[in-house]
């Protein structure tokens, strides 16, 4: 498996042959103690919004995790 500070586990992958793309589904962990879905649900529950700097942090962490994954496969 892939050891990453951001990826909990590989779940599955699927291929869209028509668009010539592969999709990799992984569980992503957010550093506050939970996953991204939990964080988004909490924001929605509080009727808040995600600040731009937090979105950029997610983009960085997800990109970093994908880079780690791809560099080992």
Whether residue 30 contacts residue 39, with contact meaning beta carbons closer than 8 Å, is answered with yes
Tell the residue number behind the tokens 């997800």, with chain if given. 62
What is this structure's pTM? 0.55
pLDDT 10s digits, 22-64: 887 777 665 656 677 788 888 899 998 988 998 898 888 878 8
Which range scores top for mean pLDDT: 7-11, 45-49, 68-72? 45-49
Alpha-carbon gap, residue 17 to 67, rounded angstroms: 23
Alpha-carbon gap, residue 46 to 56, rounded angstroms: 21
């Amino acid at each position: 498996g892939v050891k990453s500070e951001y990826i909990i586990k590989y779940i599955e992958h699927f291929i869209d042959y028509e668009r010539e793309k592969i999709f990799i589904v992984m569980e992503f962990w957010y550093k506050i103690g939970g996953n991204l879905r939990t964080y988004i649900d909490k924001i929605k529950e509080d009727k808040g919004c995600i600040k731009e700097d937090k979105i950029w942090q997610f983009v960085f962490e997800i990109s970093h995790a994908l880079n780690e994954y791809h560099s080992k496969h």
